[in-house]
Amino acid sequence: MSKIVIENLAIINKKEVGSGYFLLTLGFFSKTGTIKAGQFVHIRLPRSNIYFRRAFSIYDYNPGNKTIDLLFRVLGRGTAALAAMSPGETLDVLGPLGNGFKFPNKNETVLMAAGGIGMPPIYLLARQMVQKGFDPSRIFFFYGGQTKNDLVEISRIRKLKTRLYPATDNGSYGFKGLLTEAISSVINGKEARYRIFACGPEGMLKALDQFGRTEQIPGQLSLEAPMPCGIGVCLGCILPLRAGGYTRVCREGPVYDIGEVLL
Ligand SMILES: Cc1cc2nc3c(=O)[nH]c(=O)nc-3n(C[C@H](O)[C@H](O)[C@H](O)COP(=O)(O)OP(=O)(O)OC[C@H]3O[C@@H](n4cnc5c(N)ncnc54)[C@H](O)[C@@H]3O)c2cc1C
Ligand code: FES
């Protein structure tokens, strides 16, 4: 894990990229050179009534101008406070935190499953892989949401030239149905060496964990848990391991092998 630093970062840009979805660019972050896809930052909101920091996956970064991008959906008080902030205001940012994804072998075909606001770390993994020479046609990028409104930043994903499979629960865009159903419909017995990478709602991750174990497809899942401290001290984020014992999602995670955590 890279060295943890706390920095005061300015909001350089804020853009609503879909109804209730915001893209934030923050700078200047001294650790851009060390970021691994799947890592996150822990942000203190400058509101006295919001005590806990909030975790956000690093969506993208630019080592040249030392900025990071975050993508968030307004869900409750924390994200509403973040959405109300303006360029020029600063945030206390701790990170990069967590382990990040392990890169696949170049001869594998990668099944990426990005469920709703779980998309940022999956996008960054695909972006880093393509940049390092992984053939984008071997990346099957499944991006699912409840409706078309939940599939934000599609044009950024398209630029990677992966095979993109959008899916919505109501069929308003792409495949109609669950992301897991979209994956099954595409891969169904056509290829042997797959590897799964996923981030998204609990139900989707549980289904993919089960799918991977049953079909013997290896892979990694990025998990979420409440994170009071973010640095492995408070044990507020622990989850049970399948082999026994517990893991701290903020420290040993948030990325785990399929089958490693009891979901
Ligand atoms: C590793 C990781 C990566 C994430 N990446 C993203 C992302 O890229 N984009 C995104 O939109 N969301 C992301 N999240 C979720 C995000 O951190 C917020 O929890 C979520 O957006 C809830 O929004 P809120 O803070 O507005 O909700 P609130 O309603 O303010 O909080 C939700 C509930 O959780 C409790 N809670 C909130 N924060 C903490 C904490 N730190 N410790 C304990 N309890 C807490 C609150 O008290 C409340 O009960 C990520 C979470 C994790 C763990
Ligand atoms: S959030 Fe405190 S140990 Fe993980």
pLDDT digits (tens, 9 = 90+) for 26-68: 999 999 999 999 999 999 998 778 899 999 999 999 999 999 9
Is there a single domain that holds both residue 66 and residue 120?
no
Atom of ligand 2 nearest to the CA of 248: 4
Q: Are residues 168 and 81 in the same domain?
A: no
Do 119 and 213 sit in the same domain of this protein?
A: yes
For residue 247, being part of any structural domain is answered with yes
Residue 4, pLDDT score: 66
Identify whether 262 is part of a domain.
Answer: no
Which ligand 2 atom is nearest residue 238's CA? 4
Alpha helices in 115-253 (DSSP H): 119-131, 154-158, 179-187, 202-215
Q: Determine, yes or no, domain membership for 210.
A: yes
Q: Is the CB of 40 under 6 A from ligand 1?
A: yes
Give residue-wise pLDDT tens across range 171-182.
999 999 988 889
Which residue's structure tokens are 């400058």?
A: 46
Residue of 227, 247, 252, 261 to test ligand 2 pocket, by largest number of atoms within 8 Å of CB: 227
Does the pLDDT at position 247 exceed 80?
yes
| Closest ligand (CA of 200) | 1
Number of domains in the chain: 2
Contact 88 CB / ligand 1 (< 6 Å): no
Say what percent of the chain tops pLDDT 70: 97
Task: Give domain status of residue 91, yes or no.
Answer: yes
Which residues make Cβ contacts (< 8 Å) with residue 142, sequence separation at least 6?
111, 112, 113, 114, 165, 167, 179, 182, 183, 186
Taking the CA of 233 as reference, the closest ligand is 2
Is residue 104 assigned to a domain? no
64 with 146, same domain?
A: no
User: Contact, 101 vs 37, CB < 8 A?
Assistant: yes
Quick one: tokens of 172?
A: 């308003």
Residue 55 alpha carbon to ligand 1 centre in Å: 6
Residue 10's beta-bridge partner residues? 27, 90
CA dihedral over 147, 183, 128, 130, signed as positive or negative? negative
Q: Tell which one of 35, 43, 69, 75 to mutate to probe ligand 1, the residue whose CB is within 8 A of the most ligand atoms.
A: 75
- Taking only the tens place, the pLDDT of each residue in 152-171 is 999 999 999 999 999 999 99
Domain ends where: 97, 118, 147?
97
The share of the chain scoring above pLDDT 90, in percent, equals 88
Domain that includes residue 248, residue range:
109-257
Give the pLDDT mean for 106-111: 92
| Domain identity same for 140 and 249 | yes
CATH code of the domain covering residue 193 = 3.40.50.80
Report the separation in Å between the CA atom of 233 and the middle of ligand 2, taken as the mean of its atom positions.
Answer: 5
